[in-house]
């Protein structure tokens, strides 16, 4: 049996006795709004947690509103311009923004730095899975430290959940984050000692990847939620696939 020294930590979500988790819905369709509210309330009952749900209508609201929310559903229609969506996502980076649109490709959300993407028609399974992921990330973020990393452009203050992976490249390390890529003078060995407790592991001698950002593994390719594909070394394949499976199972236990 393959084992790992990666430590899985359990975090508590808000309960009925805790402050309500804030959720905002931005849309131009009353029908979609009703669907989302219904599924959110159903999720509340199943998970025994409490949401505070607010709905906003119209493109002007999307442009002007800066929500103080944990999770925001942004329902996109043809009349919403790309730059409006991008501006909204960048200005509300602390919220987990979920784009809902009639587009089949989930990579659509990546250009806006959104947390996730749900295609229409809305399905209960998709909503519940995305909420599971969002709650998990929120719980982890609240327990995270902020690291100060030296880069070629200065000091980068970043939380582990914001880092996608580290890549060894020509005596330097590429630091791939939510905000972009940076170059640092580190070795993967020293970064591994710092970030392994935050669900980082090595699928290849040149990479250290955040398991939270892996969408799935197919063959010897690792697909990240950013759309990036990383290599999986053949000699590490059995170990890393088993590790990722353990990680996913632990996440389900937490939820």
CA distance 19 to 242: 37
Indicate whether 173 and 138 sit together in one domain. Answer: no
Of 6-10, 100-104, 187-191, 236-240, where does mean pLDDT reach its minimum?
6-10
Average pLDDT value over all residues in the chain: 81
- Boundary-marking domain end, from 106, 123, 142: 142
User: CB–CB of 244/221 below 8 Å?
Assistant: no
Q: Domain for residue 117, yes or no?
A: yes
Indicate whether 131 and 176 sit together in one domain. Answer: no
Reported residue count of the chain is 255
Q: Domain for residue 7, yes or no?
A: no
Q: Could you give the percent of the chain with pLDDT greater than 90? A: 38
Structural domain for 60, as ranges? 21-142
Q: Domain for residue 2, yes or no?
A: no
In this prediction, residue 124 has a pLDDT band, given cuts at 50, 70 and 90, of very high
User: CB–CB of 175/187 below 8 Å?
Assistant: no
pLDDT in tens, 187-237: 999 999 889 888 899 999 999 999 999 999 999 999 998 889 999 999 999
User: Has residue 47 got a pLDDT over 60?
Assistant: yes
The three-state (H, E, C) secondary structure of 215-234, written as one string: EEEECCEEEECCCCEEECCH
User: pTM of the predicted model, to two decimals?
Assistant: 0.55
CATH number assigned to the domain comprising residue 208: 2.40.50.1020
Indicate whether 122 and 32 sit together in one domain. Answer: yes
Indicate whether 203 and 127 sit together in one domain. Answer: no
Q: Domain for residue 155, yes or no?
A: yes
User: Has residue 35 got a pLDDT over 60?
Assistant: yes
CA distance 49 to 141: 18
pLDDT in tens, 9-34: 333 344 444 457 889 998 877 888 99
* Number of independent structural domains in the chain: 2
pLDDT in tens, 48-93: 888 889 888 765 555 555 557 889 898 876 555 667 777 777 777 7
- Boundary-marking domain end, from 142, 168, 186: 142
Q: Domain for residue 4, yes or no?
A: no
CA distance 7 to 105: 34
Q: Domain for residue 12, yes or no?
A: no
Q: Domain for residue 3, yes or no?
A: no
User: Has residue 112 got a pLDDT over 90?
Assistant: no
pLDDT of residue 251: 67
């Amino acid at each position: 049996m393959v084992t790992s020294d990666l430590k899985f930590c359990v975090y508590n979500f808000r309960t009925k006795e805790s402050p309500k988790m804030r959720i905002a819905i931005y849309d131009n369709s009353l029908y979609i709004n009703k669907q989302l509210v219904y599924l959110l309330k159903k999720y509340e009952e199943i998970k025994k947690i409490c949401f505070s749900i607010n709905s906003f209508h119209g493109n002007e609201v999307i442009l002007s509103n800066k929500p103080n929310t944990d999770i925001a559903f942004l329902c996109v229609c043809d009349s919403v311009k790309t730059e409006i969506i991008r501006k909204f996502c960048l200005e509300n980076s602390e919220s987990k923004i979920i784009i809902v649109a009639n587009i089949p490709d989930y990579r659509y959300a990546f250009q806006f730095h959104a947390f996730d993407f749900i295609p229409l028609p809305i399905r209960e399974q998709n909503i519940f899975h995305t909420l599971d992921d969002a709650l998990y990330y929120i719980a982890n973020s609240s327990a995270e430290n902020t690291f100060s990393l030296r880069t070629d452009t200065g000091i980068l203050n970043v939380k582990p959940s914001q880092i996608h992976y580290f890549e060894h490249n020509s005596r330097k390390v590429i630091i791939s984050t939510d905000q972009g890529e940076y170059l640092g003078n580190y070795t993967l060995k020293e970064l591994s000692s710092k970030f392994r407790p935050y669900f980082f592991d090595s699928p290849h001698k040149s990479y250290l990847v955040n398991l939270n950002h892996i969408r799935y593994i197919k063959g010897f390719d690792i697909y990240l939620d950013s759309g990036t594909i990383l290599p999986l070394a053949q000699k590490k394949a059995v170990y890393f696939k088993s590790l990722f499976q353990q990680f996913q199972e632990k996440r389900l236990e937490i939820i």
